[in-house]
Structure 1
Amino acid sequence: MSGNSIPRHRTAEYEGNHQDCEDNVTIKSSLIRPSFGWQSALKSTLYACAMIGGIVTLFMAIHVVIEVGARNIFNNPLPGTLEITQNWSMVIIVMLAMGYAELTGDHIRAPIFTQKLSPTSLWLSNILVASIALFFIGALTYYSILAAQFSISIQQVSLGSLMIPIWPVKIVLAIGFGLFTLQLLTTLIVLCKDGRPRSSNV
């Protein structure tokens, strides 16, 4: 064996990793570059929601800074900061960004059990995970809609230093879960349509 030669098993491992990277790029490109008309509309909606979440993040940061300054400098904290932050700001930031994070593939992943799988096995695993996620997020969407309807009917408010209506946030909750469900469905369709690896080894 010459000094520049590469062991055969190393070459196969490199080719397998290279194949996985190409398949992941193909899937991500199919998600970000829509191939269906409704997928383009969903992408625009998710992007707009993510922008709203980013703006709310900025306002929340400014709000907290002002509250801390008022508390420590003037000994006069802003009323309702905790209620506004936990019942409005955080909900809007998280719920409106979940679908966009799924679109761009930015959700946290822990490939401890899948990193050694073959391309086809990994593809089947991704389909299984996406199907399970779609089922549970779809169920959360359904129950969040019911919760929003109930909250609207009683005009729900938070009880604290400041009474703040939270029924509008329940609507945001349902919208966020609904958009997340639609994007998970899109991810599953793309996986089935464009995600099958060229290698047929299981």
Structure 2
Amino acid sequence: MPLLTRLRDRGLDLLAVLGGLAILTLMIHVVADVAMRNLLNQPIPATYEVVTHYYMIALAFLPLAWLERRRGMVQVEVLEPLMSPALLRLSDRFVALLSTVIYAALAWVTWKTALGNYATGTFVLAQNVAVPTWPAYFLPPLGFALAAAVTAVRILSPEQDNPA
């Protein structure tokens, strides 16, 4: 189990780096677009489309697993003080199981949608240029699948899952 936990943690570290790079790239792209628009009257084509269809999707869905690892999702702890330690462990495992099932279902549904958009070559028009958007449809299933993996590890080993 420690190997599985270490692999999960290294993967989530990589996700954090990718998220940081995505934010940095987003900022550079938007600043360059604004600067070119105001200084040279030549904006970067399709900036709005790239930001909304790629950067924002990545920033919304890829951090789900990292948030789950740090237990940063919404929690309701009304009954927790009344539970015994054994019941609390059982409750944590049940919540992790429920979360895994929901994330896995969302991954499956969004995967099917991504495959459909890939097959049709989904795109948007920006200044009479087709900007392919189908690759971005694979980001939600990736985010949901990674979150499902993190919660599945929590089912198997909740005591090793205390956030740093």
For Structure 1 versus Structure 2, the TM-score category normalised by the shorter chain is 0.7 to 0.9
Conservation of the 8 A alpha-carbon contact between 1:54 and 1:93: no
- String of CA shifts for 1:127-151, please: whole Å, max 9, x gaps: 3322222121110111122112212
How far did 1:110 drift? 4.3
Match among 130, 133, 146 for residue 163 of structure 1: 130
Matched, 1:181 2:159: no
Alignment of 1:14-33 (within 5 A): none
Matched, 1:134 2:86: no
Matched residues, percent identical?
23
| SS of structure 1 residue aligned to 2:144 | helix
Partner of 2:55: 89
How far did 1:61 drift? 1.0
How far did 1:177 drift? 1.6
Partner of 2:74: 109
| SS of structure 1 residue aligned to 2:44 | coil
Distance 2:76 2:50 in 1: 37
Partner of 2:157: 190
Instruction: Provide structure 1 residue ranges, at least 5 long, that are not aligned to the other structure.
Output: 1-34, 196-202
Distance 2:75 2:111 in 1: 30
Question: Structure 2: which amino acid aligns with 1:57?
Answer: I
Instruction: Provide structure 2 residue ranges, at least 5 long, that are not aligned to the other structure.
Output: none
Distance 1:42 1:176 in 2: 14
How far did 1:153 drift? 1.3
Larger Rg: 1 or 2? 1
Conservation of the 8 A alpha-carbon contact between 1:53 and 1:94: no
Distance 2:104 2:18 in 1: 23
- Inter-CA distance 38–122: structure 2 relative to 1 (3 Å threshold): closer
Match among 32, 40, 43 for residue 77 of structure 1: 43
Distance 1:175 1:183 in 2: 12
Question: Structure 2: which amino acid aligns with 1:48?
Answer: L
Partner of 1:24: none
Distance 2:81 2:92 in 1: 14
| SS of structure 1 residue aligned to 2:149 | helix
Alignment of 1:140-155 (within 5 A): 140-155=106-121
TM-score, length of structure 2 as denominator length: 0.79
How far did 1:71 drift? 3.3
Superposition RMSD in Å: 2.4
Question: Structure 1: which amino acid aligns with 2:130?
Answer: M
- Inter-CA distance 108–73: structure 2 relative to 1 (3 Å threshold): farther
Match among 3, 7, 18 for residue 52 of structure 1: 18
Distance 1:115 1:72 in 2: 56
